[in-house]
Structure 1
């Protein structure tokens, strides 16, 4: 291992595992028909309480009241937020049986009234194949409607899809465009990926200064991957004047959050006295142990060398 080992993480996120239904709709909409709906369903609620047929606990009664209120608001008042709430309940199965078909039905009703969350969640359903035949192209179309309406999660995931060619044609320039929209709203994942685009020149002209600026903004939001990349840039003097003290500070911030490459880097720095810090084998071992516990082979190798005996005191 040597100084050249330190390098910016080159990989973009290539999976859509974190794509999930957004449940922000109710909080973003005023429900004008809610009080009226509550009065309409009071007789049913009271009857259920007296007879004990529909509810047996306080929690069940509360859920029954909420569902009754939302159903009447969604149907009688055509309330968008109530429709989104019902769709969310059917999608997640909370408060009753999971039913993707009903979830899609309510999302479509809300989408007809230009509800951004409905666009996004319909995109999720088509991309993941929940309640519909899996169709990433249709999913991307719904996400695009949400993205154009300002949804930062949709902007980020659209960038992912077009960069990786997931159900749509690979287009690095378009990926940078969508991440740029998210970055303009200070969304940290889009900031990070757009930084990678400028670092590598994917879809944009290479620009280390721009990459550093984007990663600095993501780092300020606690993103450990951005902190690690900033450390490397300061270490190498790319996009910024070389500053080993700032490099060390960013390595530590990322390492303390569990970034394995930062932990290996810190182990090497303290083992060799690099970056102007005093050599400290115990501190090196501490960082190597954390990295080894995450499966970093480099850390395991250095621990074996430092201890002289393979496996002695190794983190399990």
Structure 2
């Protein structure tokens, strides 16, 4: 539903410029367009660790309950559901069930009476062509009505329209006003975008200082781009306190686990270089490989170095050459890797090219 205003995290301000030891030139990474990126199907969730009992305390690990123990046994009663005392929104309920015509009918009646939430729903359905033919211009009208009525989601969407001048007159001042209001009202995407605006318009420490609280709020709501930004600011800005600096790797890990390939790349670099915590070559290799498999060119380049230097993996000249070929085809030059590649046998080069030709992004 939401789209991102700034297509890139502001490189050169807090971008990562870390080197893998012996790995060639420094590189910086920018966040791609994807604020509301869905989690990967294999994305890690919070795990509860296991505590081993000290010897001699008589505590034994549970053996579990077998299938035969469970057969015919009465299940414990479910906890009672809390009584819902809020107002039932029939329009949104129908929308969530996929009953778009019904949802539009119910929402339109309320929208015409000035209900901001209903106006947002009407705008969303019209913009996406759900229950009605797509009508971006009328959708923009309803987003404007809902934004003026104080709906945070509508304020964010309307700010995007005003920035781009899509079906409305372009008005940056009004766009900034609605983006800020949406951010202050708790919209996670607006918080990230408003932080981007603050950094863009206030280069240096002042902009980062003003933007950080919005990045943090957005990160806490699960926006991977914001989590990445918080991690980079925590580790890169000199006046960040030690308690926040110690959390930098945790935020980078959250963004990486959410499937953000740039964060996966930087997580790999941080682990290999020992940034924000101890070195871990094996985990560094694993994160680098994830990003490379997604087509991240910088990760493909750095993964080649890991194979050459046997960091976190066995040395493999053909695999190293394969990743170099892929990154070179994408336009990333690396003289050290080119020298390595030219030093391979003709058969090894052929195998690497064949492997690169067969590569498919995961």
Whether the aligned pair in 2 keeps the contact of 1:6 and 1:232 (CA below 8 Å) is: no
Cα distance between partner residues in 2 of 1:280 and 1:269: 9
Aligned residue for 2:10? none
- The 5-angstrom pairing of residues 75-114 of structure 1 reads 75=112, 78-91=114-127, 95-96=132-133, 98-100=135-137, 102-114=138-150
Greater mean deviation of Cα atoms: 107-116 or 182-191: 107-116
- Over the aligned positions, Cα root-mean-square deviation in angstroms equals 3.7
Whether the aligned pair in 1 keeps the contact of 2:20 and 2:273 (CA below 8 Å) is: no
Report Cα offsets for 1:178-213 as digits up to 9, x if no partner.
101112223211010111112221784586533212
Cα distance between partner residues in 1 of 2:91 and 2:129: 24
Calculate the TM-score normalised by the size of structure 1: 0.71
Cα distance between partner residues in 2 of 1:2 and 1:70: 55
Matched, 1:5 2:23: yes
Matched, 1:125 2:143: no
Whether the aligned pair in 2 keeps the contact of 1:224 and 1:254 (CA below 8 Å) is: yes
Matched, 1:306 2:324: no
Matched, 1:214 2:246: no
Aligned residue for 1:49? none
Whether the aligned pair in 2 keeps the contact of 1:191 and 1:218 (CA below 8 Å) is: yes
Report Cα offsets for 1:145-201 as digits up to 9, x if no partner.
1111211111111111111229xxx81212222101112223211010111112221
Summarize the Cα distance change of 1:234–1:32 in structure 2 as closer, same or farther, 3 Å threshold: closer
Aligned residue for 2:78? none
Cα distance between partner residues in 1 of 2:20 and 2:147: 55
Greater mean deviation of Cα atoms: 136-145 or 286-295: 286-295
Look up the SS of the partner of 1:279 in the other structure: coil
Q: Is there any run of 5+ residues in structure 2 with no aligned partner, and where? A: 1-18, 37-86, 94-98, 358-362
- The 5-angstrom pairing of residues 148-227 of structure 1 reads 148-165=184-201, 171-201=207-237, 204=240, 208-227=245-264
Cα distance between partner residues in 1 of 2:301 and 2:143: 47
- The 5-angstrom pairing of residues 22-61 of structure 1 reads 30-32=88-90
Aligned residue for 1:53? none
Whether the aligned pair in 2 keeps the contact of 1:173 and 1:202 (CA below 8 Å) is: no
Look up the SS of the partner of 1:171 in the other structure: helix
Cα distance between partner residues in 1 of 2:268 and 2:92: 52
Deviation at 1:64, TM superposition (A): 6.8
Matched, 1:288 2:346: no
Q: Is there any run of 5+ residues in structure 1 with no aligned partner, and where? A: 21-28, 36-61
User: How many residue pairs end up in the alignment?
Assistant: 274
Q: Report which of the two has the higher share of helix.
A: 1
Report Cα offsets for 1:74-98 as digits up to 9, x if no partner.
32x5444432232234445663363
Summarize the Cα distance change of 1:68–1:183 in structure 2 as closer, same or farther, 3 Å threshold: closer
Calculate the TM-score normalised by the size of structure 2: 0.63
